[in-house]
Amino acid sequence: MIYRPIYPPSILGVMGSGQLGRMFTHSAAKLGYQVHCYSPIFDSPTKYAGATEFVGKYTDLNKLGEFLDSVDALTFEFENIPEEALLFIEEYIETEGLRVFPSPKVIRISNNRETEKNFFRKIGIPVTNFLSLQGKFTDINKLSDIKFPAILKTNQFGYDGKGQRKYSTREEFLTDLISITNFDHILEEEVPFDIEISVIGARFPNGKIVTYPASKNIHKNHILDLTIHPANISEKLKKEAEEHTKNLLEKIDYIGVLGLEFFLKDDLLLGNEFAPRPHNSGHFTMDSANFSQFDLQVLCLTGIVDDLSLKTFPSVMKNMVGDEFFKEKETLKKLIENSEYYIHLYQKKEVISGRKMGHINYLGEFKDNLFLF
């Protein structure tokens, strides 16, 4: 299908209104686009970046319809969209010709762990062994296919470690089994991986694909703490990770930006999950690349550019979680005064433990004590 370019000052819509929508709005505004956002949240980070805020439940189809009527194209910063809303958006695609990238079909695959893992297998991305658990689980013999320790994960609405529980032994899981009356989960063998890496890729409406080199991710309390770019892995593994990302983009007929996570064990890459939107591990691109992942999101959605070359430079991204960087009043001052650091605060009104409040990009090679102030 041939898509016509959408030029400014057209209105771009985004489902969700958190920090990813905020950064999308900044990139869109640079090119003269207006942005409207939709979510159940009032006074959101996306609104504070200049977007017009539509507030309603994702299942409030009247309000959602008002929002969709107001935009020329739609993208996502949040994939946990109820099926009722996805069906409604598909109606707009069919009846109104609304451009929606990525498609609701892609959102469905990404927001269900079992569907996602099976799709990875289908297109040749290796995954760790897992067992599907649906309804009342009674066939205990199936557990013989799973090696423990293993992690029980909800199929939907899980992120940053939410909806997960680790079981060290089969017996420990069986003890808990009595209390779980209705499963919609996968039981996944724990991977004793060496490192986690991710690749950010983008596919334009004409099918052209670009990727950033792989980055290394370090987590703390199940939340991304640091992204080190580029990952210190072999060229063979870098190429393999990028090829898997390109393969996913093509086979899923994706248009837009996505992040694909891998576990690396020895020389084996295992696909973990993908995000159908800009990814936390791609925030380094805002200050150490010629085009940020949010610039790409705008360009893929609008189609005003159909190919480009990416350049990146060594950098480290640090998430600002909870009050970690707000306990000492001098911290912000020190960060602003140092030209090697670029600070991005999300304007969230309340500091909550475990909540991402912002991130810092450091330009240069990784070294110890980079973020100790």
Domain of residue 296, residue span? 195-363
Across 26-54, average pLDDT: 98
Whether residue 240 is predicted with pLDDT greater than 90 in this model: the reply is yes
Q: Which CATH number characterizes residue 143's domain?
A: 3.30.1490.20
Domain boundary among 163, 189, 215: 189
For residue 307, tell me if it sits in a domain: yes
CATH of the domain at 340: 3.30.470.20
The mean pLDDT of 354-364, rounded to a whole number, is 95
Residue 117 within any structural domain of the chain? no
The predicted-structure confidence for 172-227, as pLDDT tens digits, reads as follows 988 887 777 788 899 999 999 999 999 999 999 999 999 999 999 999 998 999 99
Count of CB atoms situated within 10 Å of the CB of 93:
15
Domain boundary among 170, 189, 208: 189
- Is residue 4, in this structure, part of any structural domain at all? no
Q: Which two tokens stand for residue 220?
A: 């703390």
* Claim to verify: residue 279 and residue 356 sit in the same structural domain: yes
Q: CATH number for the domain including 46?
A: 3.40.50.20
Q: What is the pTM of this model?
A: 0.94
329-349 per-position pLDDT tens digit: 688 888 889 999 999 999 998
Q: How many domains does the chain have?
A: 3
- Higher-scoring residue by pLDDT: 6, 171: 6
Domain membership of residue 122 (yes or no) is no
Q: Is residue 105 part of a domain?
A: no
Answer whether residue 6 is part of any domain.
Answer: no
Query: Is 170 among the domain residues?
Result: yes
Taking residues 317-328, what's their average pLDDT? 83
Asked whether residue 185 falls in the same domain as residue 213, the answer is no
Query: What is residue 122's predicted lDDT score, i.e. its pLDDT?
Result: 98
Residues 244, 344: one domain? yes
Same domain, 242 and 308: yes
pLDDT at 1: 77
- Give the residue from 127, 130, 274 showing the smallest Cα distance to 189: 130
User: What is the secondary structure of 147-201 as a DSSP string?
Assistant: PSSEEEEESSS--TTTTEEEESSHHHHHHHHTT--SEEEEEEEPP--SEEEEEEE
Residues 207 and 63 in one domain: no
Whether pLDDT at 323 is above 90: no
Domain boundary residue, one of 171, 189, 207:
189
Per-position DSSP letters for 53-92, written without gaps between them: EEE--TT-HHHHHHHHHT-SEEEES-----HHHHHHHHHH
Q: Is the pLDDT assigned to residue 27 strictly greater than 80?
A: yes
Do 218 and 357 lie in a common domain?
yes
